[in-house]
Amino acid sequence: MEGHTPEPTHTLEGWHVLHDFRLLDFPRWRKASPLEREAAWEELRGLLAEWRRVEEEGRGAFGVYQVITKKADLLFLNLREGLDALLNLEAALNRSLLAEYLLPAYGFYSVVELGSQEKPLNPESPYVRSRLTPEVPKSGYICFYPMNKRRQGQDNWYLLPAKERARLMRAHGETGRKYQGKVVQVISGAQGLDDWEWGVDLFSEDPIQFKKIVYEMRFDEVSARYGEFGPFYVGRYLDEGALARFLGVS
């Protein structure tokens, strides 16, 4: 690779994404009066209604999830057309009555991304547009994790020629295609926006598929040599009724 000047990946950007993980202070929440809890719930329902309206108008998407393990209790996932919209909804949640009982657990800000190693993508393609503004499934489970491409010695992703990166990503994509119909994947870029370079969301009706696809992809060279992975967060989608039962207000 001496004398070679690597070319950056061609990317298109879509909706902005906020993963807002929270812990619920269960002891304080249980001690709150029924009136206080009901007021907090009704206010949260108003926020959910606003998020739903934005989704119905095609200006974003959202999902709320119950998260397994002590990393977090809830994930509020929102996709919007720009950063300002995410700032506004985050501020509204932080000002809500329920926020008095929520503790920050983890957060990740990124932008939905499609990349091509060798030639630019067509932004007018219906397929491309749909991938840049993805729907959030209203059932099943989510697996989220941040990741980087390694930059160490001979295993430096950013020094590889574009054709080599394209070859590695094609092989990686072939593994992913085995899971069509079982797993939906959304990739978002966070270079210069957060502490990791990408965020990955996997959606499935069967959480075992997360284990299978991630394990199998570890054998792809692009992951085995160049992948660095952050913490994994797994949760179950909550519709309004399930969220009410989780909070004990139903």
Indicate which residues carry an active-site annotation.
145
Q: Are 115 and 108 in contact (CB under 8 A)?
A: no
Please give the structure tokens belonging to residue 171: 């092989």
Contacts of 166 (CB under 8 A, 6+ apart): 116, 117, 118
- For 145, residues 6+ apart whose C-beta sits below 8 A from its C-beta are 199, 200, 229, 230, 231, 232, 233
Pairing of strands 74-80, 102-116: unpaired
Helix, strand, coil percentages, rounded to 5, for the chain: 40, 30, 30
Element holding 54 (H helix, E strand): helix 34-56
Helices 34-56 and 83-95 meet at what angle, rounded to 10? Answer: 170
